Structure 1
Amino acid sequence: MFKPLALFLGLRYSRARARSGFVSFISVASVLGIALGVMALIMGLSAMNGFEQELRSRVLAVIPHGEVEAVGEPIADWHQAQWQLQKGEGVLAVAPLIRVNGMLEKGNQMKAVQLRAVLPEAETAISDADHYMTGDGLEALKPGENGLILGQQLAKRLGLQLGDAVTLLLPNSDPNLAMKAPLQRRFTLIGLLELGGQLDGMLGFMHLADAQAALGWGDKVQGFSLKVRELMQAQTITFSAANRLPYRLYVRSWMNSQGYLYQDIQMVRTVMYVVMLMVVAVACFNIVSTLVLAVNEKRGDIAILKTMGAGNWQIRLTFMVQGLMNGLAGAIAGAVTGSLLSLYLSDLIALLERLIGHRFLNPDIYFIDFLPSQLHLTDVLLVSAVAVLMSLLATLYPAWRASGLAPARELGR
């Protein structure tokens, strides 16, 4: 059905200069509109891919996939409990944990902190936090030395340097002494956590033995951190593993504390698809206008082609090819430009921030302080294919209108 004549004429019409400058303007506008829409959509999707990747690689590097925590008294026979959890289906690693919430005091400065008391050798099996720490990372934590690793923003607000002493204020665990002065323990800053986001201003690490000594728990722990095989099934896997223990436990996963970030990323991705595809659709409507005007310009040519034996489908395909070339040109230009900008998007935004002296992502609010970007070839191909398909659909009405012209009427004018 697709004749070489239709392809030849369609390509020739797409390259030919229109008699009307207005038609040429609409044609160029349609190509530019499609290119801008495709470029913007690719850049937006790359940014969303980057946010998702940073959520997985940075935030979940220090936030466990799952946690179980004793409801009442701390767990004494935690070695046995750890072994039982390790046998749970889908569980890759388990580490003991004590969560210590308190205040850090340095001179006149006082800041809230969430400390994770861990065993370094066990924590490295479930966490990649070492990659974002200065010095020896978690291995720098030694029992009995009262060392702390704090987020760099938290240390900066307290005016702390490596080697400085800081006071940890803890609430009194005895209910009869709840209104008394808090417990005070002296610690030394031995490392910094540099995630580059919100967690840098609130999170810290200490050795499990130091937390046990500060709280007077002996060899007890509060709960366990888990690393699971299927990240999106973390809640289910953690709950199933916790059922193996004969304790009343709180069960949490990363979805409870950070899941809203993942949901927000997916929602923005969906909204971006809809909005940007509408932009491409509007640009494709210009193809309709271009072809309708082109059909009116070439009514005589169409009539002559029909008298020479050209069929309706050849006429239709001629104008479909002409419109499709606009869509292809716009999609290719947008895909190439969008891909190049996506590869250097983080650097370009960082340069813009330095030029205007303003940071777009405040680390006190967002989980990272820079705009990430990760280009996926599937996104480029999908967006380009949809743009071309929408361009092809936009050619149908003008093409059918062209094939419906009567040669006798047109040549008799």
Structure 2
Amino acid sequence: MFHPLPVFIGLRYLKGRSGDKFGRFVSYMSTAGITIGVMSLITVLSVMNGFEGQLKNRILGVLPQAVIAGDAELAPDVNTIAQWDGIVGTAPLVSTDAVVQSALSLGAGRLLGVDPQSKEPVRAFMVRGQFEALTAGSYALVLGRKTARQLDVSVGDKVRVMITSASQFTPIGRVPSQRNFTVAGIYDTATDVDGQLMFANLNDVARLMRLPRTQPADLRLFVAEPFDVPKLKVKAESLGYEWSDWRELRGELFQAVKMEKNMMGLMLSLIILVAAFNIISALIMVVMEKQSEVAILKTQGMKQRDVVYLFVVQGASSGVIGAILGGIAGTLLAMNINGIMAVLNISLLGNGISLPVVVKPEQIFSVVVGAIVLSLLATLFPSIKAASVRPAEALRYE
């Protein structure tokens, strides 16, 4: 098969001479370093993608992603808002902070008044009871598993719900609005949301909050991509609506996850960087060894740029091979990591819980291409150094 001369000689140098075991060892270690770095980076990023996606599904799926406050003077136009880009659904909502008391304990959380016939993601996480039991006038309540354990209650038990923001004056002083509710269901998202959100019927919560009948309910927005809410906020506020979204309750959590993901990516990228320095070291050794051969090639008419290409081919081949092998190995490892851990009897999360893994092709492509580009950059200095060899000086003592 025909190859351009720099490519042919570069690949020949890549194999090395049979007696140059140390040089070949350094070259192989450079390839292995890039392979391990790319494989580790793809695997860790895929697992972090899984955790991020799971948090988004379990937390942002249950939390109100965005809420436009209802106002008698400027009531949200449901039909118009539902047509906005990125909005996949709407539902009426009233919410307030509340204290809930059982016979044995006391807790607090966010009480959401919802329409049981409207879209409500928490239905998918119900473990006891029925969400549809939240009918108007029933004063039924759906609690998270964590809150239910704290209060030591189950379906059918009575609890007292108190709202301090709707207190009223009595002869004995200011008393919060309160009423007995019946626990109608328990949900479990396996996150701390289970200890914070409580659900009841929209009308029951409005009565407990003593809201005027003329005041419309807030409008809850379901967003296709929760991380796009800043754009929607700008649009809503430009129309005079009062806006709130999930970032006020959980923004710091996702910022922490994003920062941890970036830091893990940076740390593992250092492995690839170290391997790239190995390429520089290996190429410098080859350049020092091949000075006389380069001089002969230049006397035969090889141009400086061809000499540069020659050593770029040799050095970059290690990077390209390592990046491709690392990409394939990292993808296979990420897709089968739970099976491998099961065979080795390792459970990082305990109780046999599998690691969430989301493999993103565009992410793999970026990592592999980044490793190849870094390898190419690592070859430039030694290659230019080789091209600067002067034949007369290199062959003086030959």
The whole-number CA distance in structure 2 between the counterparts of 1:158 and 1:347 is 39
Q: Using the alignment, how far apart are the partners of 2:274 and 2:321 within structure 1?
A: 16
Query: Who is 1:33 aligned against?
Result: 33
Which of 380, 388, 395 aligns to 1:404? It is 388
C-alpha displacement of 1:10: 1.8
Deviations 1:311-367 (A, max 9, x none): 4333332221111111012212321232233334577789999757869xxxxxxxx
Q: Sequence identity, in percent? A: 31
State the match for 1:176 in structure 2.
Answer: 169
1:7 equivalent in alignment to 2:7:
yes
After TM superposition, give the deviation of residue 274 of structure 1 in Å. Answer: 4.5
Report SS of the residue matched to 1:61: coil
Measured after TM superposition, the shift of residue 99 of structure 1 is: 1.4
Q: In 1, Cα distance between the equivalents of 2:110 and 2:355? A: 26
After TM superposition, the score normalised by the length of structure 2 is 0.81
Aligned residues: 387
Counterpart of 1:161, as a letter, is S
Equivalent pair of 2:16/2:24 in contact (CA under 8 Å): no
Task: Return closer, same or farther for 1:86/1:237 CA change in 2, 3 Å cut-off.
Answer: farther
Residue number in structure 2 paired with 1:154: 147
**Structure 1 pair 309–87 and aligned structure 2 pair: CA distance change class (3 A):** closer
- The answer for the alignment partner of 2:294 in structure 1 is 302
Task: Say which is worse superposed, 226-235 or 386-395, in terms of deviation.
Answer: 226-235
1:223 deviates by 2.8
Return closer, same or farther for 1:381/1:92 CA change in 2, 3 Å cut-off.
closer
Counterpart selection for 2:222 from 227, 232, 248: 227
Verify: 1:64 aligned to 2:64, yes or no: yes
Task: Note if contact 1:98-1:221 (Cα within 8 Å) is conserved in structure 2.
Answer: no
Aligned letter for 1:86?
N
Q: Secondary structure at the match of 2:59?
A: helix
Query: TM-score scaled to structure 1, two decimals?
Result: 0.79
Deviations 1:157-201 (A, max 9, x none): 333333333332333734424955655533232222222212111
Amino acid at match of 1:152: R
Instruction: Indicate if the aligned counterparts of 1:85 and 1:242 stay in contact, CA closer than 8 A.
Output: no
For the structure 1 residues 347 and 117, does the alpha-carbon distance in structure 2 shift closer, same or farther, using more than 3 Å as the test? farther
Instruction: Give the aligned partner of residue 382 of structure 1.
Output: 366
Q: Which residue of 2 aligns with 1:366?
A: none
- Tell whether the 8 Å contact from 2:312 to 2:383 is kept in structure 1 after alignment: yes
Does the alignment pair 1:142 with 2:125? no
Structure 1, unpaired ranges of 5+: 244-249, 360-368
Query: For 1:310-389, what aligned pairs fall within 5 Å after superposition?
Result: 310-344=302-336, 355=347, 372-389=356-373
Q: Which amino acid aligns with 2:305?
A: W
Tell me what 1:246 maps to.
none
For the aligned residues, what is the CA RMSD?
Answer: 3.6
Correspondence for 2:157: 164
Taking the aligned partners of 1:355 and 1:196, their CA distance within structure 2 comes to: 17
**1:87 paired residue number:** 80
- CA distance in structure 2 between the partners assigned to 1:136 and 1:17 by the alignment: 75
2:99 maps to 1:103:
yes
Counterpart of 1:280, as a letter, is I
